């Protein structure tokens, strides 16, 4: 069969699952589960994959809600990643229900292509994207060691074949001072809150002199007990983000310098802990992203390769993209006025446009798998680009 015929067959393969995929997506949406608690979503997804002829390993990498579903045993090995965690209070305001359904839909649609051309396809269930960075742990624990290419789609407000995502790490800060009556004997106190306030001021000053795409943001989680007590303790959580690991490390030192300066000035003692999970920046494989773009266009969705104006955060897919050639395209399901992580986006994730995005994302991924299997030259080009970027 020619490439175009294979692509027509995978489009048909996704269409044939339309009802099941929508049901799966809406069932996950209606029953949101937080990171590492996604037991029902993981069960529903793996059940559907088993019924569709995939072999399943549940609880991989020591994570109860992670899974690997495989079909075929040849090379290259292609992974389609599924996320299915929700956000506290907002439910599926990041639309991970759509990611999960599009991943299983695409992989199942590829089965006849695998039968014909060899290779193997995996759906890798990656929990806790939002809070704990499940993929960071899974990368460290070898989940992607035998994978040649990785892809997933994420819903958004525009169709874009690449994602800008920053390296980032969280930082917990504590200042320890000395309590005293704030009016009767303030001179006896050491004000841990003032140390924190000075730190914020120092970081605000630092922010004028950092690179455009770096970010430093934080909240105070303890600011004292009562207005008439000099605060003996204060605490904050920050996130530091940068376009690459090198600049992140540089920025981390400067940020700690801000807290250290405030400790010296106030006399409060500083303690800090960097979060154990470090999200890496997203490395978009442009050869792979171009294939996805062309396939979306065949489906009638004109799509940008990159959008310089797009907003950017961080994703644990960044860590996967440092290890294997990867793409993390955005599929638009809401107007540009709607922001991700809002109640409006949660509604969009269960809407008609959401379902459209799910099906088109699944079709375009399955068509991209066809490109990978049908054209060894493109595979070499993707690997070459990846090697050069190292
Ligand atoms: Zn997300
Ligand atoms: Zn999110």
> pLDDT by residue (tens digit) across 327-367?
999 999 999 899 999 999 999 999 999 999 999 999 999 99
CB atoms within 10 A of CB 9: 17
- Separation of CA 264 and ligand 2 centre (Å): 37
**274 phi and psi angles, rounded to 5 deg:** -80, 140
Work out whether the CA dihedral 68, 71, 77, 78 comes out positive or negative. negative
* Cα–Cα distance for residue pair 113/131, rounded to 1 Å: 36
> What are residue 272's phi and psi, to 5 degrees?
-140, 150
Alpha-helix residue ranges (DSSP H) falling in the chain: 3-15, 18-30, 39-51, 96-109, 111-117, 134-140, 192-207, 245-266, 286-298, 317-323, 343-348, 352-374, 376-388
Residue with tokens 């600011």: 223
State the Cα–Cα distance between residues 224 and 319, nearest whole angstrom: 38
pLDDT greater than 90 at residue 16 = yes
Average pLDDT over residues 244-271: 97
Please report how many Cα atoms fall inside a 13 Å half-sphere around the Cα of residue 286, on the Cβ side. Answer: 9
Q: What is the pLDDT of residues 185-208, one digit of tens each?
A: 999 999 999 999 999 999 999 999
Percent of the chain with pLDDT over 90: 95
CA of 225 relative to ligand 2 center, distance in Å: 33
CA 172 remoteness from chain centre: 21
E-strand ranges in 62-202 read 67-71, 77-82, 120-125, 149-151, 154-156, 167-176
Q: Please give the structure tokens belonging to residue 12.
A: 């048909």
Closest CA to 99 of 337, 247, 316, 374: 316
**Alpha-carbon 380 to chain mean position:** 27
Strand ranges across the sheet with 120-125: 55-58, 67-71, 120-125, 77-82, 149-151, 326-327
Distance from the CA of 84 to the center of ligand 2, in angstroms? 11
Burial 113-150 (b: 16+ CB within 10 A, else e): bbeebebbbbbbbbbbbbebbbbbbbbeeebbeebbbb
Range name among 25-34, 76-85, 152-161, 307-316 with the lowest pLDDT average:
307-316
CA of 85 to the centre of ligand 1 (A): 9
**Distances from the Cα of 277 to the Cαs of 139, 175, 185, 356, 364, in angstroms?**
11, 23, 43, 34, 31
DSSP string, 316-372: THHHHHHHS-EE--EEE-S-TTSPSSSHHHHHHTTSHHHHHHHHHHHHHHHHHHHHH
pLDDT band at 123 (very low <50, low <70, confident <90, very high): very high
Q: How far apart are CA 98 and CA 281, in angstroms?
A: 23
Instruction: Tell me, in angstroms, the distance from the centre of ligand 2 to residue 340's CA.
Output: 7
pLDDT score recorded for residue 276: 87
Output the six-digit token pair for 342: 């809002």
Distance between CA atoms of residues 387 and 390, nearest Å:
5
Residue 94 CA, ligand 1 centroid: distance in Å: 5
DSSP H/E element including 219: strand 215-222
Token pair recorded at residue 93: 């305001």
What is the spatial distance between Cα 180 and Cα 168, in angstroms, rounded to a whole number? 38
- Compute, in angstroms, the gap from residue 130 CA to the centroid of ligand 1: 7
Cα 35 to middle of ligand 2, angstroms = 11
Is the peptide bond prior to 76 cis by the omega test (within 30 degrees of 0)? yes
* 95 CA to centre of ligand 1 in angstroms: 7
pLDDT recorded at residue 390: 64
Name the closest ligand to CA 130.
2
- Distance from the CA of 24 to the center of ligand 2, in angstroms? 20
Please give the pLDDT value at position 344. 97
Other C-beta atoms within 10 Å of 356: how many? 15
- pLDDT tier at 131 (50, 70, 90 boundaries)? confident
Q: Give the ligand at the shortest distance from the Cα of 328.
A: 1
pLDDT attached to residue 336: 86
User: What average pLDDT does range 252-274 have in this prediction?
Assistant: 98
Rounded to whole angstroms, the Cα distance separating 327 from 290 reads: 10
Q: Ligand 2 mean position to 200 CA, how many Å?
A: 26
Cα 155 to ligand 2 centre (Å): 10
Res 389: pLDDT? 81
Q: Are strands 55-58 and 67-71 parallel, antiparallel or unpaired?
A: antiparallel
| Averaged pLDDT, 251-262 | 98
Identify the nearest ligand to the CA of 339 by its number.
Answer: 2
Distance 130 CA to ligand 2 centre (A): 5
Dump pLDDT digits (tens) for 304-322: 999 877 778 899 999 999 9
Report field, pTM of the whole predicted structure over 0.85: yes
The number of the ligand nearest the C-alpha atom of 87 reads 2
């Amino acid at each position: 069969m020619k490439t175009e015929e294979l692509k027509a067959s995978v489009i048909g393969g996704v269409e044939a699952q339309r009802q099941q995929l929508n049901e799966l997506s809406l069932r996950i949406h209606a029953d949101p589960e937080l990171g590492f608690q996604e037991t029902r979503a993981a069960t529903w997804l793996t059940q559907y994959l088993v019924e569709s002829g995939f072999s399943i390993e549940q609880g991989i990498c020591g994570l109860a809600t992670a899974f690997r579903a495989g079909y075929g045993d040849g090379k290259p090995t292609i992974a389609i990643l599924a996320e299915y965690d929700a956000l506290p209070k907002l439910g599926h305001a990041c639309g991970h229900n759509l990611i999960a359904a599009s991943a299983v839909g695409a992989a199942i649609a590829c089965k006849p292509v695998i039968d014909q051309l060899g290779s193997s396809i995996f759906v890798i269930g990656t929990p806790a994207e939002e809070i704990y960075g499940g993929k960071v742990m899974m990368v460290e624990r070898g989940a992607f060691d035998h994978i040649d290419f990785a892809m997933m789609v994420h819903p958004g407000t525009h169709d874009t074949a690449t994602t800008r995502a920053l390296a980032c790490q969280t930082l917990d800060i504590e200042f320890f001072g000395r309590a005293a009556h704030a009016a009767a004997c303030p001179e006896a106190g050491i004000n841990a809150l003032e140390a924190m306030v000075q730190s914020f001021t120092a970081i605000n000053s630092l922010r004028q002199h950092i690179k455009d795409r770096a970010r430093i943001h934080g909240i105070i989680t303890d600011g004292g007990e009562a207005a008439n007590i000099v605060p003996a303790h204060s605490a904050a959580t920050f996130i530091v983000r940068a376009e690459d690991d090198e600049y992140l490390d540089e920025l981390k030192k400067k940020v700690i310098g801000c807290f250290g300066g405030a400790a010296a000035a106030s006399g409060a003692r500083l303690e800090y802990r960097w979060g154990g999970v470090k999200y890496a920046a997203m490395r978009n494989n442009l050869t792979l992203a171009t294939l996805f773009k062309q396939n979306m266009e065949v489906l009638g969705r004109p799509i940008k390769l990159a959008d310089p104006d797009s907003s950017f955060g961080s994703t644990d897919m960044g860590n996967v993209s440092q290890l294997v050639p990867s793409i993390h395209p955005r599929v638009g399901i809401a107007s540009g006025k709607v922001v991700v992580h809002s109640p409006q986006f949660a509604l969009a994730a269960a809407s008609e446009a959401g379902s459209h995005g799910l099906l088109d994302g699944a079709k375009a991924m399955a068509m991209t798998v066809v490109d990978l299997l049908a054209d060894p030259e493109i595979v070499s080009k993707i690997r070459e680009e990846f090697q050069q970027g190292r």
